[in-house]
A = this chain, B = another copy of it.
Amino acid sequence: MPPSPNAHGRTRIRREEVGATRRERKQRTREALIDAALRLLEQESFSSLSLREVAREAGIVPTGFYRHFENMQELGLALVDRSFRSLREMLRDARATADGDQRMIRRSIAVLVADVHEHRTHFRFIARERSGGVASVRQAIRSQIRLLGSELATDLARLPVLASWSTDDLQMLAALLVGVGVSAADALVDVAPGDEETEQEIASAAERQLRLITLGVPAWRSDQGGA
């Protein structure tokens, strides 16, 4: 624990603070709580994060927390929501604007890398809690990722190469592709902030992995099982 608990740039909210309507100020405190949590999550995991800690970092008194969230778990769900909001749209856009599977792959990876870059804290949270401690948070994250997969499967179904594929096989493929993305994001989150080279390597590896997979697609026959 750092010696000075309120040391670095937390968002102090005070009654005296200038601010417009009451709703706006409440909203702002809510944001401050979310941001405070994300900031603290760079150092520790969600399940070991305490209500008091978050409140302190946000600059309000512990009991004030309850005006915004019933408990920490609810804060967790808000964090999941916040973290996934933009990514899903951006990915869908990326697939819509660029068709042709190779271009789609490059675009999607680029979007992912850029988003991880810009919202590192969100992705660190997601990566850490995807299999992590608090059950409801974990489930929320997984359901978001599953959604990502379904959306991808729907788009894939429109590609000529995949026209003859069964829904089951499409889901399998989509899950595989999403898995590669998740692994890449996982790896990116742990790259030192300045290290663009490693970042580039991870992106390139993910791209090549996706490309390898697409190479298998034309040869796929659902029923071929044995050696």
Contacts and interface: CB of A to CB of B under 8 A. Distances in A.
A176 B217 CA distance: 16
Interface stretch (A59-67, A82-90, A128-136, A153-161): A128-136
Contact of A209 (B102, B172, B219): B172
Interface residues of A, number: 40
A32 to B, nearest CB: 23
Contacts of A176: 180, 209, 212-213
Interface in A100-125: 100, 102-103
A208 B63 CA distance: 52
A77 interface: no
A44 interface: yes
Interface in A173-224: 173, 175-176, 179-180, 182-183, 186, 205, 208-209, 211-217, 219-220, 224
Interface in A38-72: 44-48
Given A128-B133, A179-B180, A214-B216, A227 B102 contact: yes
A140 interface: no
A31 interface: no
A72 to B, nearest CB: 11
Contact of A103 (B179, B183, B227): B227
A133 B47 contact: yes
A179 to B, nearest CB: 5
A226 to B, nearest CB: 7
- 10 closest cross-chain pairs (CB), A and B: A45-B133, A216-B216, A215-B216, A102-B227, A215-B219, A47-B48, A45-B47, A212-B216, A176-B209, A127-B131
